Amino acid sequence: MTIWQQKLSLITIAMLLTTSSGWACWDNSVSDSTNLSNCKTKSRLGDKNAQYVLGWIYEVGRGVKPNLKESIYWYKSSAKLGHAIAQYQLSMLYATGQGIEKNQSKALEWLERSAAKGYPKAMERLGNLNFEGIEGVTLSYTTALEWYSKLGAKANSKIENRIGWMYEQGKGAEQSDPKAFQWYLKAAKRGDIENQNIVASMYREGKGVRRSYKSAVEWYYKAAAQGSKVSQFHLGVMHGEGEGVKQDFEKSYYWYRKAAEQGYPPAQYRLSLSHELGLGVKQSRILAHMWCNIAAEGGYQKALDRVFELATKLTSEELAMSKKVAQEWFAKHQGQ
């Protein structure tokens, strides 16, 4: 999202939060110059909503030449009158030094004022600053959790993941795997791949939730459908072991191959074993060595320990063929 699109998003929110007029001083049915005039009039009369909109107008240049100095003036006026989004915007300007002297202390002050009024972006940012311990804010998981929790339904998958992690690790809160699971699950239901993998893993291990291989498979499938090589690998393992599904080496090979083609060394090593033992695929010493060699090049220790042993089982012609096929694979997947 561009800076202009971010400003447009903020102005839309501001308009929806205004008084009975609904759109403060802005009306899409009239020209930008008319809106500018209306906003100036209302701003001079002390309308904090109009002042915020006017600050945006001068910042992005709607009906007037962009003027950051004038924009900051009206943002400040609106912020001092208690406009939460203007306070957040002013905080960001102080934090970045855009058009104004950079000042972390003032940035934090205005951010806290905005967050205290319940503006979601401000609460999220305060949580992030405390979670990461950056921009003059001392790391505090406890404070981060407080702000994140206040977001409620407005939290996103990143925040839900962080809350889950804090409960799992006992950072800022009493350690609780069940609570961690519930937060990871919230994020997973939003379609977030990382959290879908975490939920699947917790179901598989019975961590924070009753063990269910079937549920683990279901969540791995959700993430795998979005291209997660980690999930694809675990589906290969579970189909091969018969965990939550009927044992099926062909399906196991299929999922290992999907992950391997994305450059995932553990899956490449499993493909090597599949070809060596003929599990779900035709037995092939050449392809067993080829995939082990590729996994070894990716730094996978099990492959590094085994690749030379596999090479001793090949004729010189077979070894040359294996290396040739591996080179072709690397050329095709260069940069992966």
CB atoms within 10 A of CB 227: 12
* 330, 255: one domain: yes
pLDDT of residue 2: 43
Q: How far apart are CA 26 and CA 43, in angstroms?
A: 12
* 244, 202: one domain: no
Q: How far apart are CA 206 and CA 134, in angstroms?
A: 35
pLDDT of residue 77: 97
* 235, 334: one domain: yes
Which 3 state secondary structure label does DSSP give 189? Answer: helix
Q: How far apart are CA 298 and CA 327, in angstroms?
A: 13
* 218, 234: one domain: no
The domain in which residue 204 lies consists of 174-226
Examine residue 195 and state whether it is found in any structural domain, yes or no.
yes
Examine residue 98 and state whether it is found in any structural domain, yes or no.
no
* 218, 241: one domain: no
* 213, 275: one domain: no
* 279, 301: one domain: yes
First to last CA, the chain: 26
Successive 10-residue mean pLDDT values, the chain, 336 residues: 47 44 74 93 95 93 93 96 96 93 96 96 97 96 97 95 98 97 98 98 98 98 98 98 97 98 97 97 96 96 96 95 94 79
* 242, 276: one domain: yes
* 214, 255: one domain: no
* 272, 199: one domain: no
Number of domains in the chain: 2
Model pTM? 0.86
Last residue of a domain, one of 191, 226, 261: 226
Residues 6+ apart with CB under 8 A from 184: 160, 161, 164, 195, 198, 199, 202
Q: How far apart are CA 105 and CA 82, in angstroms?
A: 19
* 318, 291: one domain: yes
Q: What share of the chain is helix, strand, coil (3-state, %, to 5)?
A: 70, 0, 30
Last residue of a domain, one of 209, 226, 243: 226
Examine residue 240 and state whether it is found in any structural domain, yes or no.
yes
CATH code, domain with 293? 1.25.40.10
Examine residue 107 and state whether it is found in any structural domain, yes or no.
no
Examine residue 218 and state whether it is found in any structural domain, yes or no.
yes
* 329, 256: one domain: yes
